[in-house]
Each structure stands twice: as C-alpha cells, then as structure tokens.
Amino acid sequence: MIHPSAIIEPGAQLGADVQIGPFAYVGAHAVLGDGCILSPHAVVLDHATLGARCRVHSGAVIGDLPQDLSFSGEPSYVVTGDDCIFREGVTVHRGTTPGSTTKLGHHVFMMANSHIAHNGEVGNHVILANGVLLAGYVTVGDRCFFGGGAAIHQFCHIGRFSMVGGLTAITKDLPPFCITVTGGANTVAGLNLVGLRRGGFSAKERAQIKTVFKTLYHSGLNVSQARERLQEQVSENPFAAEYIAFLSHAKRGICPVSRRPGKAEAEADADA
C-alpha cells in the first residue's frame, strides 16, 4: 500500500493498513497510526504523530518548523487524535519551545489552506473552513466551527461550541457557545443555538446557557461584576461555573456583544 515513489525515512513508524501515495514524504521520527492515508505529495515531517485513520491530502504539510524567530531548533512535536482530515495545502506546525507540542483532538477537519501554528491546542470535532488561520498558542474548545478566512490572534482562547463567522478577526477571547458577526472583529452576535441543538443540549440546558449569556452581556455589569453575579448562580446552573472558569483565564479580555440585535439574538429570545 506504499507507492514506490514515496519516501519513507528509516525510523518512521507506520501502523497497520497505512496507505501512502506517489511522492509523499514521511520523516524519520514521524508516527502514522493504523489506517492513515497519505495522498500524493502529502508530507508528514519529523516529530509529528498522527492518530488512527487520519487522512493527509495532497500538498498538506504536518509537523514543519514553527514560524517563530525565537525557535532554537530543539525537538518539539505535533500530536493529533484519530480520524482527522487535512485537506490540500493545510499546514500544522510544531511547538516553538523545546519539548512543547501542538495538539489536535479527534475528528478535526481542516479544509484547504487552513493553518494551525505552533503550540496550538484544538479540541475534538473542530472544523476549520478554507483559509482559516490560527496563530501561535491559540486554544480551541470542542465542536467549534470557523468560517472561511477567519483569523485568530495568538494566545486567544475560543470556548467550546462557538462559531466564528467567515472573514472574522478575533483578537480577544470568545466565550463558550457564542457566535460571532460574520466579517467583523471581536463581535458576538448571540448564542450558537443551532450548534447547541445539534450537540444534544436539552431545552433546559439551553435556557441555562441563555441565562449565563444574558448575565455576562445584557445585565449592564462589567466583567468582574458579572463574574460575581454568575457565582450566585453556580448552585443551580452548571454553565455559570464554566463561564466563571473561562473568564478567570481570559487574559486578553473577551469579545463584546453587538449592540444591534441580530438573527442569533432573536433566535435566543425565542428559544427555551
């Protein structure tokens, strides 16, 4: 299942049933899990480890050196979960500090020409549409979706079940369950209700999330005051504790909400 024109460096570890197409390259310290498929001209470099059944399409490069002038050349790593898909032109870079790792969860889908920079941490079932750019040290929670051309500033944290609109720039932290204004910058439009329904959240849970969201964004309180108000809700609302934890680690500040009610907020008001 390995094309004779492919280059597999001595020392590379290949799992069972791996398929490697013409002119693909696998580095000496790379690890491919069972059932991985490398298309023609796919590249998996040293210190990259792919989980089972990952697919690397033509022109994708996993495990290249970080684009960081402070990188000293010491070994660092990329580690992915199972069932990840890397479409054409995708790049995922190694950590920048010695021994550090860029980590991807299971079922990550990176569409064409998307990028995860050094020391990123991406959760499970995350989708990056074409041309999405995650800078260094970006953290992404489970089941987030990024529209085409979205760009996330280094060190930002994107909470789980969030949806970032296409061509959107994010330079602050985006709380869980939020959806942003498409084509804007750092602007929350409302709650990602479609994602919550598809994710199996009950009507009661969605109502609890709505309460937390309104406390943070529509109570007239600043972030510190909202965090204190959320503390009062913890005993009855588990999502209050999640928001408190997120806000406690939001070093860059959080994305503000749009002052003009949009479709997402209208749906939130109608949802129960």
143 within domain boundaries? no
Looking at 99, 120, 137, the residue that finishes a domain is: 137
Looking at 113, 137, 161, the residue that finishes a domain is: 137
pLDDT digits (tens, 9 = 90+) for 159-206: 999 999 999 999 999 999 999 999 999 999 999 999 999 999 999 999
Looking at 137, 160, 176, the residue that finishes a domain is: 137
145 within domain boundaries? no
- Give me the count of residues in the chain: 272
> 206: domain range?
196-270
Q: Please tell me the total count of domains within the chain.
A: 2
- Whether residues 123 and 219 share a domain: the answer is no
- Whether residues 114 and 12 share a domain: the answer is yes
pLDDT at 259: 79
- Whether residues 27 and 123 share a domain: the answer is yes
- Whether residues 12 and 88 share a domain: the answer is yes
pLDDT at 267: 58
183 within domain boundaries? no
pLDDT at 72: 95
108 within domain boundaries? yes
pLDDT digits (tens, 9 = 90+) for 128-163: 999 999 999 999 999 999 999 999 999 999 999 999
Share of the chain above pLDDT 70, in %: 95
- Whether residues 11 and 130 share a domain: the answer is yes
pLDDT at 95: 98
pLDDT at 261: 59
Question: Rounded CA gap, 174 and 159, in Å?
Answer: 6
- Whether residues 99 and 207 share a domain: the answer is no
CATH assignment of the domain containing 252? 1.20.1180.10
CATH assignment of the domain containing 29? 2.160.10.10
pLDDT at 256: 97
- Whether residues 128 and 245 share a domain: the answer is no
- Whether residues 123 and 14 share a domain: the answer is yes
pLDDT at 265: 55
11 within domain boundaries? yes
Predicted TM-score of the model (pTM): 0.95
Residue with tokens 């054409």: 88
129 within domain boundaries? yes
120 within domain boundaries? yes
Share of the chain above pLDDT 90, in %: 94
39 within domain boundaries? yes
pLDDT digits (tens, 9 = 90+) for 40-78: 999 999 999 999 999 999 999 999 999 999 999 999 999
